[in-house]
Structure 1
């Protein structure tokens, strides 16, 4: 795979970022041995990437179903009715875990985790009344996580 790397970043930075994406809890020592670099060099490079906003955050992958949110869905929204700041309106909803502005027929895509079909129906009715058209994609199962 050909990678586009900015002039102030190199292949080693890419490898560090890629390994952190796969396991954000890996130690600097383990990471260094994976990419043949000292742990202190890995630490310095990681800190520089954090300062440059190359590494934006460290996240845990959570099975929200174990907390009672058995429905995982993506909802496309067409902003037909809403007047105001849509991102602020949507990000304050407990159901919404991620919010994206998208191109095409729809304006926004929400990633939601909801307890059951009744709650999903109520949320969809709410969105339709307040915002406009929706198109819902239910996640049946994750096949694999594709590298970014």
Structure 2
């Protein structure tokens, strides 16, 4: 369906990425259409998997999660059993907001959100007790300059 996305679909998607909690009437007005065609297009894009689940964006710092660490992991183990244990360890830890397998010198990068450095250490100790890694480098983010899930449509 991605190749069948037209200009109106893109406008709708931009509006949904900006604030999906707005009413259908507000979104339709913003894109210059009426409610029924906008609703139909949104439904079709959901069915096609272009639009996924809708979530609420929370203020991490106001909820006590003041530290973001980017964790670089190198491993010499690449067999399926190790990867399954590693994936399971990551999925079971809500502190891990993102995890990516990389090309290059670093095998994985994690985005870990915790209350403070002590909480990161608890996370780190638990992770390395569950899966063996060659090296771990933790980088503390001093300031979040930009964060978005929006695609550049």
TM-score range with shorter-chain normalisation? 0.7 to 0.9
Secondary structure, counterpart of 2:104 in structure 1: coil
Structure 2 counterpart of 1:124:
124
Deviation at 1:107, TM superposition (A): 2.3
129-138 or 108-117, which deviates more:
129-138
Structure 2 counterpart of 1:139:
141
Matched, 1:64 2:60: yes
Q: Given the alignment, which residue of 3, 25, 43 partners 1:7?
A: 3
Structure 2 counterpart of 1:76:
72
Secondary structure, counterpart of 1:69 in structure 2: coil
125-134 or 8-17, which deviates more:
125-134
Q: 1:34 to 1:112 in 2, by over 3 A?
A: same
Secondary structure, counterpart of 1:7 in structure 2: helix
Identify which of structures 1 and 2 has the higher relative contact order when contacts are C-alpha pairs closer than 8 Å and 6+ apart: 2
Matched, 1:16 2:12: yes
Q: 1:51 to 1:140 in 2, by over 3 A?
A: same
Structure 2 counterpart of 1:108:
108
* TM-score for both structures, normalised by structure 1: 0.82
Task: Give distance in 2, aligned partners of 1:24 and 1:100.
Answer: 27
Task: Give distance in 1, aligned partners of 2:53 and 2:132.
Answer: 31
* CA RMSD after TM alignment: 2.3
Unaligned 5+ segments in structure 2 are: none
* TM-score for both structures, normalised by structure 2: 0.80
Deviation at 1:98, TM superposition (A): 2.3
